[in-house]
Amino acid sequence: MDRAIAIQVSHLTKTYDGQPAVSDLSFQVYSGEIFGLLGPNGAGKSTTLRTLITLLTPTSGTASVLGHDTVREADVVRQLIGYVPQERAIDRFLTGREHLELLGALYHLPKAEATKRIAELLKLVELEEPADRPAKTYSGGMKRKLDIACGLLPDPKILFLDEPTLGLDVQSRLRIWDYVRMLKARGMTIVMTTNYLDEADQLCDRLAIIDGGKIKTLGSPAELKVGLGGDIVSLTLKDRSKIPTLVSALTGQPAMRAVKATPGGLDIRVESPEKALPAILEFANRLDCHLEFIEYHRPRLDDVFIAHTGRSMTESVQDIQVV
Amino acid sequence: MAQYWQEIHALTMRWVRRLSREKFSMLFTLVQPMLFWLIFFGNLFQRAADVQVTQAPNYISFLTAGVVVMTVLNNGLAGGVDLLFDKENGFLERLMTTPIHRSSVILSRFIFVMTITSLQVLVILGVAFLFGVQPATGLLGVAAILMIGMLFGVGLTAISMAMAFSVKSHGDFFSVLGFLSLPMIFLSSALVPLVAMPAWMGFLARFNPMTWAIDAVRPLILSGWAEALPHVGMVVVVMVIFDALCLYGSAKAFRRAMG
């Protein structure tokens, strides 16, 4: 199936002081889809996004948005896109309406059209009532809604969202997801970064898992999970010293696709649990490994992440925070 | 061109709105130079200052020129602060993703800072008037004072904005600001005429553009056109060079920040 290409990234590399933030990224975003860039902090998601919205110039490689180069035709690109930044980029002294009026002028909208569009947007994000209060009186969720309204003001073909639900309470989060789905239903192309697995899973049509400045894998959440091949059996052992023994015994057995040691036991990717489970139990018995806990589940996005980056998403997020 | 004007107008009005929402901050900004320097300092040193040295009827009338230029200095040096906050909270980034001329942001700031500064200078001259200081060159002289203030302010605001774009944190910005402001004032003819300064300070003060501005504003207030004109001519030349250097030095930081 041929689909219209909204964004084309070719061999994009961006280095800071010789350190690559992203290296040799190539991918496409199709018109009308929600495309996610998933990865831990510092993975290169924001660098990629900021290149697409013309804030960064690639060190090498190119990016084009709706056929326009993000460097040479930056002004054209800026007319076509909307951006919702990660920080609450709000002027606390201005009211919600004044934010939108300012942007209306910066997108050169005629006054009458700006007024009409602002009224629609305030209604859409449910900020009509507080629209004329200074933004410093807004809650986190309200600021986020205003951010989104700002991103939508130019009536963009493509909307870029940087960590749209970072730090929001559950309710606001679900509300934001609703908006994103509704915008997609209206035909808008959406590109978002996230380091929440569930968000990527729930919302994105396709996603690229980025780690260390490189794309590790790319596809729809379902494809990525199926691509792992099989379901996952997790064992927790009473005696951890037995883990290596069991790993080497199970590795290469017919029903096991991959065997991996975890801190408390083993993760085994299996083709079909009916064949694998009896074999696993038999080996465990024979080697005198007492099982504390057995869990069996379909692959989750976290498993995809681990399979492609060698570590868990949550681990790596914590790593960054400790540093 | 119409688009350019639409951008600049909207961005300038944003600064005005912000100021009007910060009533306290506005009040203090306006009142501080008059209260601290003109009224307190001016009256305090009334008898300590030698009329033979200041060559003025009283110390307040001598100090008025200094306070006017000090206000230009402080407003100019602080001119980038709001852009610094915009940079830190991501608002600048939002502006930069819109299809505006990059220079609109900078220009709006110049227009705003120059307007506020001019208003403040007028208020200072008004308060000085209440203390009996009548500009010897009249309204035309006041206009000349405003022009000198703007010429000096452009360069200072440019430096301040460049610094706002370049510093790593706003702590750095305010440290540099605090370190620049007072020495600039002490090493100028704002409080004491050059001839009455210790030789080494007087020597350094000669290289301070502030001294040139004050030495032109002072005769406009105290003496009259005959004495003031050569100084005014001179300060225009000095300030054009000063502004050119500041703008040239800042252009790189602007380009880097604006992409």
What CATH code is carried by the domain that includes residue A185?
3.40.50.300
Distance from CA of A104 to the nearest CA of B (A): 9
The answer as to whether A307 is a domain residue is no
pLDDT of A36 strictly over 80: yes
Domain contains A224: no
* Structural domain includes residue A314: no
Retrieve residue A287's tokens.
Answer: 């080697």
Chain B residues close to A98, C-beta within 8 Å: 14, 17
End-to-end CA distance of chain A: 45
Q: Which of A219, A247, A273 is the last residue of a domain?
A: A219
3-state SS record for chain A: CCCCEEEEEEEEEEEECCEEEEEEEEEEEECCCEEEEECCCCCCHHHHHHHHCCCCCCCEEEEEECCEECCCCHHHHHHHEEEECCCCCCCCCCEHHHHHHHHHHHCCCCHHHHHHHHHHHHHHCCCCHHHHCEHHHCCHHHHHHHHHHHHHCCCCCEEEEECCCCCCCHHHHHHHHHHHHHHHHCCCEEEEEECCHHHHHHHCCEEEEEECCEEEEEECHHHHHHHCCCEEEEEEECCHHHHHHHHHHHCCCCCEEEEEECCCEEEEEECCHHHHHHHHHHHHHHCCCCEEEEEEECCCHHHHHHHHHCCCHHHHHHHHHHC
Residues A20 and A54 in one domain: yes
CA distance A196 to B127: 60
CA B119, B120, B121, B127 dihedral sign is positive
Which band of pLDDT confidence, cut at 50, 70 and 90, is reported for residue A238? Answer: confident
Predicted confidence at residue A314, as pLDDT, reads: 62
Q: Is A153 exposed, middle or buried (0-12, 13-18, 19+ CB in 10 A)?
A: buried
Same domain (yes/no): A200, A274: no
Q: Which of A200, A219, A238 is the last residue of a domain?
A: A219
Looking at residue A10, its pLDDT comes to: 96
Average pLDDT rounded to a whole number, residues B191-211: 91
Cβ-nearest to A85 among B7, B21, B94 = B94
What residues of chain A, 90 to 129, have a C-beta less than 8 Å from chain B? 90-91, 93-94, 98, 101-103, 105-108
Domain limits for position A182:
5-219
Residues A133 and A255 in one domain: no
> In A, which residues are within 8 Å of B99 by CB distance?
75, 78-79, 106-108
Q: Which of A118, A107, A77 is nearest to B104 (CA)?
A: A107
Same domain, residue pair A209 and A233: no
A147 → chain B, closest CA residue: B94
Taking only the tens place, the pLDDT of each residue in A250-282 is 888 877 888 888 888 888 888 777 778 888 888
Considering only CB atoms, which chain A residues are within 8 Å of B10? 101-102, 105-106
Question: Is residue B257 within 8 angstroms of chain A, CB to CB?
Answer: no
Whole-angstrom distance between the N-terminal and C-terminal Cα of chain B?
21
Task: Give yes or no: residues A155 and A77 share one domain.
Answer: yes
Q: Is the per-residue pLDDT at B201 higher than 90? A: yes
* A309 part of a folded domain: no
Residue B253 distance to chain A (closest CA, Å): 15
CB contact at 8 A, A171 and A141: yes
The number of distinct structural domains making up chain A is 2
> By CA distance, what is A150's nearest residue in B?
B94
A207 with A238, same domain: the answer is no
Residues of A in contact with B7 (CB under 8 A): 105-106, 108
Give the per-residue pLDDT at A323.
33
Please tell me which of the candidates A88, A93, A106 has its beta carbon nearest to residue B7: A106
Residues of A in contact with B97 (CB under 8 A): 53-55, 78, 81, 83
Choose the final residue of a domain: A165, A194, A219. Answer: A219
Q: How many CB pairs under 8 A join A and B?
A: 72
Contact list in B for residue A86 (CB cut-off 8 A) is 90
**Is position A308 within any domain?**
no
Share of chain A above pLDDT 90, in %: 57
Question: In this complex, is the C-beta atom of B91 within 8 Å of any C-beta atom belonging to chain A?
Answer: yes
ipTM: 0.88
B170/A contact by beta carbon, under 8 A? no
Contact call for A106 and B95, based on CB within 8 A: yes
| A97 lies in the same domain as A159 | yes
Q: What is the pTM of this model?
A: 0.85
Verify that A10 and A69 share a domain, yes or no.
yes
A73 touches chain B (CB under 8 A): no
Specify whether A16 is located in the same domain as A58.
yes
In a shared domain, residues A148 and A210: yes
Asked if B90 lies within 8 A of A86 by C-beta distance, the reply is yes
The answer to the question of residue A37 being in a domain is: yes
Report the CATH number that the domain containing residue A268 is assigned in CATH. 3.30.70.920
A156 or B33, which is more confident? Answer: A156
**Nearest by CB: A107 against B18, B90, B99:** B99
Shortest Cα distance, chain A CAs vs residue B25, angstroms: 13
Residue A59 lies in a domain: yes
The pLDDT tens digits of the residues spanning B50-102 come to 777 777 778 888 999 999 999 999 999 999 999 999 998 889 999 999 999 99
Q: What is the model's pLDDT at position A86? A: 83
pLDDT in tens, A135-181: 999 998 899 999 999 999 999 999 999 999 988 888 889 999 999 99
Cα distance between residue B48 and residue B44, in whole Å:
8
A49 and B CB contact within 8 Å: no
Distance from CA of A50 to the nearest CA of B (A): 9
Length of chain A: 323
Residue of A nearest to B20 (CA): A93
